[in-house]
Amino acid sequence: QIEKLVTKRATFGMGCFWACDALFGATPGVLRTRVGYAGGTLDSPTYRNLGDHTEVIDIDYNPEVIGYQELLNLFWNNHEYGLTTRIKRQYMSLVLWHDEEDRLTAEQSREKEQRKRGEPLITEIKRFERFYPAEKYHQKYRLQAHPWLVEKLRLKTSEELLGSTLAAKLNGYLAGAASVGQFEQELPSLGLNEETTEYVRKYVVENQGNGLYC
Ligand code: MHO
């Protein structure tokens, strides 16, 4: 019996999108990530001309492995800036929900987080409307810094960079978003050979726990 995997989508603005691409990419249950612009009204924004849009991470995930609340916990705890202080709209704290249930979860979660922290959070919670993927060079930014690996694993095209679960995970591993333990546990399912395994492992060991940066 073949059951079709029902995937869900989540979209967050939490600062520069390179860092949260790595964070969510390495999170078990996340299937695909894309960085881009959303939340505003300007048609066809670009990195140089964002208009009123915000840098966001757009995630496809398997709800049987990870829930929206868990994604929200990662969201609250990994803002580079903008959770309590207003800076530019490019980096504002933003939850774009995709269904009514997620709207409720997000609003309740913000309440709880605010009580816990004892200071007002400026996160906006709005209906998702439209996502504009960012330029190719922003996608899996940490992974693309390793052209040898990208070439070896054939992850060069936009389609592969945006659509591949492996690309999402590698982008996180290389940035130090996973522990060595998690990496070793997931390794058998990644389909890497000895050479690419050694290459990635070195960065996982070096970078684990370094904190994500932009
Ligand atoms: N600090 C980075 C931010 C890039 S980001 C995609 C830079 O100045 O290039 O917003």
pLDDT in tens, 95-107: 999 999 999 999 9
Beta strands 8-13; 94-97: pairing state: antiparallel
Whether 17 is in the pocket of ligand 1, judged by its Cβ within 6 Å, is: yes
Query: What is the atom index within ligand 1 of the atom nearest the CA of 138?
Result: 6
Is 8-136 in CATH node 3.30.1060.10? yes
Per-residue pLDDT, averaged over 38-63, amounts to 98
- Atom 5 (ligand 1) nearest CA: 16
Residue 210, Ramachandran bin (φ over 0: left; ψ between -120 and 50: alpha; else beta): alpha
Q: Is 131 in the pocket of ligand 1 (CB under 6 A)?
A: no
Whole-number Å distance between alpha carbons of 73 and 6:
22
CA of 100 to the centre of ligand 1 (A): 33
Q: Which one of 10, 16, 143, 167 is the catalytic residue? A: 16
CA distance 123 to 140: 25
Pick the residue with more confidence: 27 or 208? 27
Is position 214 annotated as part of the catalytic site?
no
Whether 141 lines ligand 1, by a CB cut-off of 6 Å, is no
1 — pLDDT class (breaks 50, 70, 90)? low
Q: How far is the CA of 57 from the centre of ligand 1 (A)?
A: 14
Q: What's the predicted TM-score (pTM) here?
A: 0.96
The ipTM value here is 0.91
The number of the ligand 1 atom at minimal distance from the alpha carbon of 55 is: 10
**What span, in angstroms and rounded, lies between the C-alpha atoms of 30 and 65?**
8
Query: Region 70-88: what's the mean pLDDT?
Result: 93
pLDDT score at 3: 73
Task: Quote the pLDDT of residue 5.
Answer: 80
* Ligand 1 neighbour 55 (Cβ under 6 A): yes
* b/e map 103-114, b = 16+ CB within 10 Å: bebbeebbeebe
User: Domain ranges in the chain?
Assistant: 8-136, 137-207
Ligand 1 centre to CA of 47 (Å) is: 10
Cβ atoms of residues 149 and 170 within 8 Å: yes
Answer whether 214 contacts ligand 1 (Cβ < 6 A).
Answer: yes
